[in-house]
Amino acid sequence: MREKFLRDVIRKIQPGNAEFESTAKRHLDSLTKPIGSLGQLEDVAAQYVAWRQQDSPSISGKAVYVFAADHGIVEQGVSAYPKDVTPQMVFNFLNGGAAINVLARQAQSDVFVVDVGVDAAFDGLKGLIDRKVRRGSRNFAKEAAMTKEELNAALQVGIDLAEEAEKQGRTLIALGEMGIGNTTAASAVAAALTGLPASQVTGKGTGLDAERCQRKVEIIDNALRMHFPERPSSFPDPLEVLRRVGGLEIAAITGMVLGAASRRIAVVIDGFICTAGAAVACALAPDARAGIFAGHQSAEPGHRILLVSMDLKPLLQLGMRLGEGTGAVLAFNLIDASLRIYNEMATFESAGISKAGI
Amino acid sequence: MREKFLRDVIRKIQPGNAEFESTAKRHLDSLTKPIGSLGQLEDVAAQYVAWRQQDSPSISGKAVYVFAADHGIVEQGVSAYPKDVTPQMVFNFLNGGAAINVLARQAQSDVFVVDVGVDAAFDGLKGLIDRKVRRGSRNFAKEAAMTKEELNAALQVGIDLAEEAEKQGRTLIALGEMGIGNTTAASAVAAALTGLPASQVTGKGTGLDAERCQRKVEIIDNALRMHFPERPSSFPDPLEVLRRVGGLEIAAITGMVLGAASRRIAVVIDGFICTAGAAVACALAPDARAGIFAGHQSAEPGHRILLVSMDLKPLLQLGMRLGEGTGAVLAFNLIDASLRIYNEMATFESAGISKAGI
């Protein structure tokens, strides 16, 4: 039995509207182009129309939420970067100098930086959304990453921000993250959800060499054995996966995907870490899937596997592996393009053009 | 021996500037992100800097050139659409109702529609660039698609427009096309350039069924046997390929790639047809390759093969198969993003962030 706050959100999540979807497909087929010739742009438009239930779909209030947290698992030496980089990058985000700031400016998107669990005292830092649950998750090689209370608090961060986003009139948001060590947590979540061995879902993160990557795999496999001794013969509960081997920012992302889905806000997920959070959300509420767009598929092997398992096709594959929401914000332009196509193209009838007919 | 006008253009084409390229790579590595973590965005920025030879690279005067022409080969029944659609789509472009118009508006790009050989009398139609060489190329199943004079005239169209583009201060342009039957010409060009059988480089175009697609393959193979009896034991001259089995818009694209390269204007190529034109240009002047970006890889099998042969990695793979320049113009945003990253991101030093060092 889920906690009440979670049941309340999940209950409100409905699938995409099938009637709007077929109307959208008919409209797309009436436009002056061979049927289906705009490929994924057409799929995106149909999905957005079905999700937003609008005849003339539009986007308002684009924003990216960058969830930052630290990870106890870095004690095991799983990252190429020292833990200090998490708070340093938070400052960089607030100063507008990070990749996500640059890409958000281009996409005319707001940027919200959310401290869910950075291991640093920011002391009321201006511009930072302070929702710190704990100074970093626990080392999941030794114990559960979070207590139940901590998990719930982190989920609530995302749920609250989704409510806020709706009040601000946002219809399309991107999710991103920053947290040294978080590809290790995401790999553990991916392995636990899919039942695959860590070796199949673990990559070099921001730049491990082969030897340290192998060590990362062993750490994850050992942790999974400890936390889920019944695995792989039975699948663990997704919330327990999140709590034991996830991270605070991953849990906030799960909460925000659920909260956004309950309000029919469309969500673009970024890389592997975001997708892990979204995968937990979809495991809890499969209908949430209809509101999700995959911005970019990274080089992390677990990312492709999770996307396939969720039947999500990425809009971009540029070999990026940065996170922060960069891949999601880059995809805003493609979603915007797909809706402009939907709203602005001439139809065969209006333009007086012959349809295929030989 | 090439004609003088062509030798004059080719002689001016220089490779990318290696010094600017290494400076660009050093700069990219100093930005606040793990090395290489922005993947292709970094490659694009370095290529653009090396091509434009600018420390602070910028884009001005974005434009897409849509070259329209008809193809005698449609007499053989190689297209799902009647030939009338070519002029009908020209009207649609001029009225702003086609996909390329919508995407160009989004990308803040000008659109130029160039009649190189549409089989229709447009009578001074407003907004159309009238450079008609002939009302459609000849049926290459029976004779060469063009005479030498026609080929030269079509090449000159592109060369002239590149000169014009430079005068207008354009640094980045996209190429597109419209011409019922032109995937057949592009497949024939691809087969002739690569030495592959038509079956490996021919697809369903805008929507042929399997049987008619098979017929298209046979028509191309027969034509190649007739025009190039020495094939595949020796490779035919690329200009002869263009003349015998190409098309007027493909030749204009070849000319524009060469002209742009001689003026260091960067070019984004669109789909299979554009890439065939660009492949001929690179066969004539290999250094032109350094100024080319591949916007989108379509589902046409020959397209992937040509891109690989030119060592070009597409920025997008959205399953589109429309042409018009749509994939190229969609990629404008990604090139713009890569230059913003290059110009606007903080460095490790300026942001006071630790580099990887474990």
Q: Domain check: are A239 and A203 in the same one? A: yes
Give a yes or no: residue A326 inside a domain. yes
pLDDT, residue A207, reads 83
pLDDT, residue B356, reads 62
pLDDT, residue A139, reads 98
Average pLDDT, chain A: 96
Average pLDDT, chain B: 96
- In this predicted structure, the answer to whether residue A116 has a pLDDT above a threshold of 70 is yes
Tokens read off for A246: 């996830």
* Least confidently predicted of B106-115, B146-155, B205-214, B304-313: B205-214
Span B107-120, mean pLDDT?
A: 98
Measure A242 CA to nearest chain B CA, in Å: 26
Q: Domain check: are B268 and B308 in the same one? A: yes
Asked if A88 is an interface residue toward chain B (Cβ–Cβ < 8 A), one would say: yes
Q: Where are the beta strands (DSSP E) in chain A?
A: 63-69, 110-117, 128-130, 172-178, 266-269, 292-294
Cα A143 versus chain centre, distance: 25
Asked if B234 is an interface residue toward chain A (Cβ–Cβ < 8 A), one would say: no
* Cβ neighbour number for residue B2 with a 10 Å cutoff: 12
Residues in chain A: 358
Distances (CA, A) of B292 to B112, B132, B271: 19, 26, 13
Residues of A in contact with B88 (CB under 8 A): 351-354
What DSSP assignment string belongs to A56-72? S------EEEEEEE-BG
Report residue B358's pLDDT band, with 50, 70 and 90 as the boundaries.
very low
Q: Do B88 and A35 touch (CB under 8 A)?
A: no
pLDDT, residue A347, reads 96
Q: How far apart are CA B281 and CA A331, in angstroms?
A: 32
Residues of A in contact with B358 (CB under 8 A): 77, 79-82
What DSSP assignment string belongs to A117-142? E-SS---S-TTEEE---SSSB--TTT
CATH classification of the domain holding A20:
1.10.1610.10
- In this predicted structure, the answer to whether residue A74 has a pLDDT above a threshold of 70 is yes
Q: How far apart are CA B55 and CA B357, in angstroms?
A: 29
Give a yes or no: residue B358 inside a domain. no
Residues of A in contact with B182 (CB under 8 A): none
Q: How far apart are CA A217 and CA B172, in angstroms?
A: 45
Q: Domain check: are B50 and B110 in the same one? A: no
Asked if B354 is an interface residue toward chain A (Cβ–Cβ < 8 A), one would say: yes
Give a yes or no: residue A249 inside a domain. yes
Residues of A in contact with B357 (CB under 8 A): 82
Cα B121 versus chain centre, distance: 26
Asked if A318 is an interface residue toward chain B (Cβ–Cβ < 8 A), one would say: yes
Q: Domain check: are B104 and B144 in the same one? A: yes
Give a yes or no: residue B213 inside a domain. yes
Q: How far apart are CA B251 and CA B253, in angstroms?
A: 5
Q: Domain check: are A27 and A69 in the same one? A: no
Interface test with A, best of B316, B324, B335 (most A CBs within 10 A): B316
Q: Do B330 and A334 touch (CB under 8 A)?
A: yes
Cα A109 versus chain centre, distance: 17
Say how many Å lie between the first and final Cα of chain B, rounded.
60
Q: What is the pLDDT of residues B79-100, one digit of tens each?
A: 988 999 999 999 999 999 999 9
Nearest to A345 among B97, B317, B350 (CB): B97
Measure A337 CA to nearest chain B CA, in Å: 6
Q: Do A40 and B318 touch (CB under 8 A)?
A: yes
Give a yes or no: residue B356 inside a domain. no
Read off the DSSP letter of residue B177.
E
* Least confidently predicted of A70-74, A148-152, A352-356, B322-326: A352-356
Q: Domain check: are A143 and A17 in the same one? A: no
Give a yes or no: residue A356 inside a domain. no
Nearest to B320 among A32, A37, A102 (CB): A37
pLDDT, residue B116, reads 98
Q: Do B34 and A81 touch (CB under 8 A)?
A: yes
What DSSP assignment string belongs to B64-106? EEEEEE-BGGGGG---SS-TTHHHHHHHHHHHT-SHHHHHHHH
* Least confidently predicted of A4-8, B149-153, B204-208, B242-246: B204-208
Smallest CA-to-CA distance from B186 within B114, B258, B78 is with B78
Chain A 249-288, CB below 8 Å of chain B: which residues?
A: none
Residues in chain B: 358
Q: Domain check: are B118 and B164 in the same one? A: yes
Catalytic-role residue among A19, A240, A324, A344: A324
User: Which residue do the tokens 């907004």 mark?
Assistant: B127
Distances (CA, A) of B302 to A146, A167, A276, B299, B325: 52, 50, 36, 9, 17
Which residues lie closer than 8 Å to A8 by C-beta, 6 or more apart? none
CB A349 within 8 A of CB A30: yes
Domain span holding position B24? 4-56+343-351
Residues of B in contact with A341 (CB under 8 A): 99, 102-103
- In this predicted structure, the answer to whether residue B104 has a pLDDT above a threshold of 60 is yes
Q: Do B91 and A351 touch (CB under 8 A)?
A: yes
The amino acid at residue A337 is: A
Q: Domain check: are B279 and B296 in the same one? A: yes
Report residue A119's pLDDT band, with 50, 70 and 90 as the boundaries.
very high
Asked if A38 is an interface residue toward chain B (Cβ–Cβ < 8 A), one would say: yes
Span B308-334, mean pLDDT?
A: 97
- In this predicted structure, the answer to whether residue A183 has a pLDDT above a threshold of 50 is yes
Tokens read off for A103: 């890409």
Asked if B32 is an interface residue toward chain A (Cβ–Cβ < 8 A), one would say: yes
Distances (CA, A) of A16 to A276, A312, A334: 22, 15, 20
Element at A231 (helix H, strand E): none
Which is it for the CA torsion B143, B144, B149, B154, positive or negative? positive
Span B106-116, mean pLDDT?
A: 98
Highest mean pLDDT among A150-159, A206-215, B344-353: A150-159
Q: Domain check: are A70 and A42 in the same one? A: no
Report residue A80's pLDDT band, with 50, 70 and 90 as the boundaries.
confident
Q: What is the pLDDT of residues A307-344, one digit of tens each?
A: 999 999 999 999 999 999 999 999 999 999 999 999 99
Q: Domain check: are A72 and A9 in the same one? A: no
Q: How far apart are CA A109 and CA B337, in angstroms?
A: 14
Nearest to A340 among B40, B102, B318 (CB): B102
* Least confidently predicted of A8-17, A198-207, A327-336, B294-303: A198-207
Asked if A178 is an interface residue toward chain B (Cβ–Cβ < 8 A), one would say: no
Residues of A in contact with B83 (CB under 8 A): none
Tokens read off for B300: 């046409």
Residues of A in contact with B336 (CB under 8 A): 106
Quote the longest CA-to-CA distance of chain B.
71
Angle formed at CA B278 by CA B274 and CA B283, multiple of 5 degrees:
150
Interface test with A, best of B102, B216, B270 (most A CBs within 10 A): B102
Smallest CA-to-CA distance from B61 within B26, B111, B95 is with B111
Q: Do A41 and B82 touch (CB under 8 A)?
A: no
Give a yes or no: residue B235 inside a domain. yes
Chain B 98-127, CB below 8 Å of chain A: which residues?
A: 98-99, 101-103, 105-106
Q: Do B346 and A92 touch (CB under 8 A)?
A: yes
Distances (CA, A) of A299 to A204, A316, B48, B333: 9, 12, 24, 22
CB B32 within 8 A of CB B353: yes
Q: How far apart are CA A345 and CA B93, in angstroms?
A: 11
Q: What is the pLDDT of residues B46-72, one digit of tens each?
A: 999 999 999 999 999 999 999 999 999
The amino acid at residue B5 is: F
Q: How far apart are CA A219 and CA A212, in angstroms?
A: 10
For residues B312, B317, B319, B322, the Cα torsion angle rounded to the nearest 10 degrees is -60
Report residue A206's pLDDT band, with 50, 70 and 90 as the boundaries.
confident
Q: Domain check: are A231 and A192 in the same one? A: yes
Phi, psi of B201 (to 5 degrees): -125, 15
Residues of B in contact with A207 (CB under 8 A): 34-35, 37, 356
Q: Do A41 and B318 touch (CB under 8 A)?
A: yes
Output B342 or B206, whichever has higher pLDDT: B342
Distances (CA, A) of A112 to A67, A174, B354: 8, 10, 23
Asked if B95 is an interface residue toward chain A (Cβ–Cβ < 8 A), one would say: yes
CATH classification of the domain holding B172:
3.40.50.10210
Which is it for the CA torsion B179, B332, A205, A137, positive or negative? negative
Element at A178 (helix H, strand E): strand A172-178
Q: Which ipTM score applies to this complex?
A: 0.96
Q: What is the pLDDT of residues B269-288, one digit of tens each?
A: 999 999 999 999 999 999 99
Asked if A33 is an interface residue toward chain B (Cβ–Cβ < 8 A), one would say: yes
Q: What is the pTM of this model?
A: 0.97
pLDDT, residue B299, reads 86
Read off the DSSP letter of residue B346.
P
- In this predicted structure, the answer to whether residue A75 has a pLDDT above a threshold of 60 is yes
Q: Do B354 and A102 touch (CB under 8 A)?
A: no
Burial class (CB in 10 A: 0-12, 13-18, 19+), B234: exposed
Q: Domain check: are B104 and B192 in the same one? A: yes
pLDDT above 70 covers a percentage of chain A that reads 99
Total domain count, chain A: 2
pLDDT, residue B263, reads 98
In DSSP terms, which residues pair with A66 in a beta bridge? A113, A176
Q: Do B357 and A206 touch (CB under 8 A)?
A: no
Which residues lie closer than 8 Å to B95 by C-beta, 6 or more apart? A346, A351
Residues of B in contact with A211 (CB under 8 A): none
Measure A330 CA to nearest chain B CA, in Å: 8
Give a yes or no: residue B318 inside a domain. yes
Tokens read off for B271: 């789909």
pLDDT, residue B205, reads 82
